[in-house]
Amino acid sequence: MSESSSEQQSSDISQLPNAKTVAPPQEPNQTQMSAGNTVLSFLSSVFTVIFRLGLLTVGSGLALVVGMAIATIRPAEVTDEPPLLETVVQQFDRIRSYKIKP
């Protein structure tokens, strides 16, 4: 069985075109690229950045609206403790105002 398969493979290989007759594809170099391709590439990059900034803006706005809706529906409980942000700012001010005595 292996002899017939090896004979079949050798006959298949002989039917393939010779590698010397097939020319490899050529890559365009910088001198062959036109100015139109460069401008198109630049415009594509600009539109991509604008589109991504638009997505970021829409996503941020949606998150803000959803957050405000949740805060309206379920407000935080009132406690005697100051908010976390205010506590952090007060501690930061204390650290900044601390002076080392010589």
Tens of each residue's pLDDT in the chain, 102 residues: 555 555 555 555 556 555 556 666 776 655 555 656 788 888 999 999 999 999 999 999 999 999 999 999 998 888 888 888 999 999 998 888 877 766
| pTM for the structure as a whole | 0.45
Calpha distance 37→49 (Å, rounded): 18
The SS3 call for residue 102 is coil
Chain position carrying tokens 């493979």: 9
Calpha distance 62→55 (Å, rounded): 10
CA distances, 71 to each of 55, 58, 74, 83, 86 (Å): 24, 20, 5, 15, 19
